Structure 1
Amino acid sequence: MLDVDQVCKIMLEYIETSLETPHSLFAELPICPFVRVARLKHKLDLWVHPFDPSTEIDVSVQQKIEEFCLAQKDVLLVIHPNPIAMNFAALNRFVERLNDSIDALGLVAFGGHPDDPFEVNGVQTRHDPFINFTIQRQQKLTTARKSLLQTHYYQAWNGDALEAVGIEEMVRSAQTE
């Protein structure tokens, strides 16, 4: 298994070369338009932790989320060091339970997995090198998504992709205004 520094290095390289690179499908914006700013402003917190999706959310994850709530960070990225530790369905169940527990804090979690089939018109946007989940502040995410509505970022997204990230209604409303 890789050590913490190697895992972080691989994940950061993936973020920089895949998520931060402008793409024609997204109106020449990056797949994840705000991660570069978060990374460069040191608002992205990477934490390598072998979380177990089959159990309740462990105390160390709960403590890290509490620290994130108090910190001035935009994104907490929790990376499992073993890219085959769990299947995609197990990660999704874990993220659902996690979202149930953090919703009252104004936070939302998203999973990332090497086998994640999510794509936007053939472009895989969550095919990460490691199993992971991100924690973000709901209000900040909503503001960011609304700012993207002022661009052509979502133009190539189909209804399934929009629905999968929970913004189909937001995009539809913006298109009718």
Structure 2
Amino acid sequence: MNLHNSNDDEVIIAMIDHIEKFIEKPNPVFDNMPICPFVNKFRQENKILYKVYNFSYSEQLGLDAKVMDLINEFKTDKYHEVMIVIHPDKESFSLEDMKQFNIILNNLISPLGLIAFTGHPLDDFNIDGVYTRRDPFINFTVQNIEKVNLYAEKLKSTGYYQRWTLENLKYINHLEINQNV
């Protein structure tokens, strides 16, 4: 799963560019903090593991078995804080299929103490009009749930969640298993 070709490099570079220019930039909707206040530190410290992989999902067959191989590899990795698996085909999944993929994936990995978030070019999740998961490529991000909850707890004392609706909070609570954001 290492980088094999320049197309993989281009996909990763495009995602990093999106992270730097959008996810890491201060935004008034988040009390002038970045969409993800912790990603810059992870990126600067090279704590993000990027994988380009043509993962698949279907209602009949379920998840691609190689996805779990990648997750198990990440779980045993003592260095990286985040793994982003990027699908190089921007049209490989409908938004609804990606949402279903995320539910199934989280059901499988939550016993491992992990959580997944997805991104999609058409993702409709937004905070006060800021589409936080509308990424240039279909992808999923995996992190340790305890650490995600610690980061969320740190943000509670700020204005970060001030413009989140009850629906926004319920949506992340359903996925992120954090009942007190």
Q: State the SS of the aligned residue for 2:149.
A: helix
Q: After TM superposition, list the pairs within 5 Å mapping 1:4-43 onto structure 2.
A: 4-43=8-47
Match of 2:110 in 1: 103
Match of 1:50 in 2: 54
Aligned pair count?
170
User: What is the rounded CA distance, in whole Å, between the counterparts of 1:115 and 1:152 in structure 2?
Assistant: 27
Structure 1 stretch displaced more, 49-58 or 104-113: 49-58
User: What is the rounded CA distance, in whole Å, between the counterparts of 1:61 and 1:115 in structure 2?
Assistant: 22
Following superposition, the deviation at residue 127 of structure 1 comes to 0.7
Q: After TM superposition, list the pairs within 5 Å mapping 1:1-177 onto structure 2.
A: 3-54=7-58, 55-71=61-77, 72-166=79-173, 169-171=179-181
Structure 2 length normalisation: TM-score? 0.89
User: What is the rounded CA distance, in whole Å, between the counterparts of 2:94 and 2:54 in structure 1?
Assistant: 14
Q: State the SS of the aligned residue for 2:118.
A: strand
Following superposition, the deviation at residue 83 of structure 1 comes to 0.5
Runs of at least 4 residues off by over 2 Å: 55-60
User: What is the rounded CA distance, in whole Å, between the counterparts of 1:75 and 1:48 in structure 2?
Assistant: 14
Deviations 1:121-171 (A, max 9, x none): 111111100000111100000000000001110011111111111178413
Following superposition, the deviation at residue 58 of structure 1 comes to 2.7
User: What is the rounded CA distance, in whole Å, between the counterparts of 1:91 and 1:97 in structure 2?
Assistant: 10
Q: Over aligned residues, Cα RMSD in angstroms?
A: 1.4
User: What is the rounded CA distance, in whole Å, between the counterparts of 1:170 and 1:111 in structure 2?
Assistant: 22
- Supply the AA of the counterpart residue of 2:27: H
User: Conserved in 1, the CA contact under 8 Å of 2:125 and 2:131?
Assistant: yes
Q: For structure 2, which runs of at least 5 residues remain unmatched after alignment? A: 1-5
User: What is the rounded CA distance, in whole Å, between the counterparts of 1:41 and 1:96 in structure 2?
Assistant: 30
User: Conserved in 1, the CA contact under 8 Å of 2:57 and 2:64?
Assistant: no
Structure 1 length normalisation: TM-score? 0.91
User: What is the rounded CA distance, in whole Å, between the counterparts of 1:133 and 1:118 in structure 2?
Assistant: 15
Q: Percent identity?
A: 38
